[in-house]
Amino acid sequence: MGTKVIAIVNQKGGVGKSTTAFAIGAGLTLKGYKVLFVDLDAQGNLTYTLGADDTGINSFDVLTGGATAKDAIQKTGQGEIIISSPILAGADMTLTAPGKEYHLKEALEVVRRDYDYIVLDTPPALGILAINALTTCTGVIIPAQADIYSLQGISQLYNTLQTVKRHCNPSLRVMGILLTRYNGRAIISRDIAEMTEETAKHLQTKLYKTKIRETTAIKEAQARRQSIFTYAPRSNASADYKAFIDEILGEEE
């Protein structure tokens, strides 16, 4: 198996991107895979949750050629990561030269073979950082809430995905849409799930069978800087993310 690079993308905030990125990486690590996290979001939620030193070499340094990916990797108790920086917020004004879409892909080449999976956490915007992630990845997972705004966001994302596929990454594949903060008892959630399934078909992908139920355990785990699997192994969220990771791995068999 070659290294799988998974980008977690949705330009809408609050849909559980960082939570999902961390859960995927932590879950794959528990199954014995070697994982590298890359935090491309200026908010640095993934960097914080992994307990990384936020003053170290960061993903902006790597993107701009100020440091190598190898030098940037930090080993923490929660996993290995190239950390975020607040400076990433200005990336669209900094990364402007021709070939700007390929900076991340080129930078990660030197470490790519050292990992089974690289998980890219992206900002809530379809700027140059998301484009770099989409150019680099082998697959995209789109986390979305069961609400109408999330559906609109996915439709907007579709155009960006098609453009990147056409110009930068012909093998780009949308692995699926993951519904987060799901409440199965709410009629609106079930209705939106059906609509999301239709949207997934339009993107030539699928809605994952697993839905991540709403639970306070996720927020508590983040505050404690622990994965949901170690903090609350019997929680709904832990069970849901485990099932989701099994779905991801099942696709590769």
**50 neighbors 76 (Cβ within 8 angstroms):** yes
Instruction: Supply the pLDDT for residue 253.
Output: 57
CA distance 117 to 226: 20
Instruction: Supply the pLDDT for residue 71.
Output: 97
Instruction: Supply the pLDDT for residue 174.
Output: 93
> What is the SS3 assignment for 209?
strand
- The continuous run of DSSP H or E covering 87 comes out as none
Instruction: Supply the pLDDT for residue 188.
Output: 75
Q: Sort 1 into a burial class: Cβ within 10 Å, 0-12 / 13-18 / 19+.
A: exposed
Beta strand 139-145 with 174-182 is parallel
CA distance 237 to 241: 6
Instruction: Supply the pLDDT for residue 150.
Output: 76
pTM of the model: 0.94
pLDDT in tens, the chain (253 residues): 689 999 999 988 878 899 999 999 999 999 999 999 999 999 999 999 999 999 999 999 999 999 999 999 999 999 999 999 999 999 999 999 999 999 999 999 999 999 999 999 999 999 999 999 999 999 999 998 877 777 777 878 888 999 999 999 999 999 999 999 888 777 777 788 888 888 888 888 999 999 999 889 999 999 899 999 999 999 999 999 999 999 999 986 5
Structural domain including 20 reads 4-251
CA distance 211 to 79: 25
Q: Tokens standing for 51?
A: 């307990």
Q: Tokens standing for 165?
A: 């596929």
- The continuous run of DSSP H or E covering 187 comes out as helix 187-202
- Structural domains of the chain, count: 1
Q: What CATH number does the domain containing 139 carry?
A: 3.40.50.300
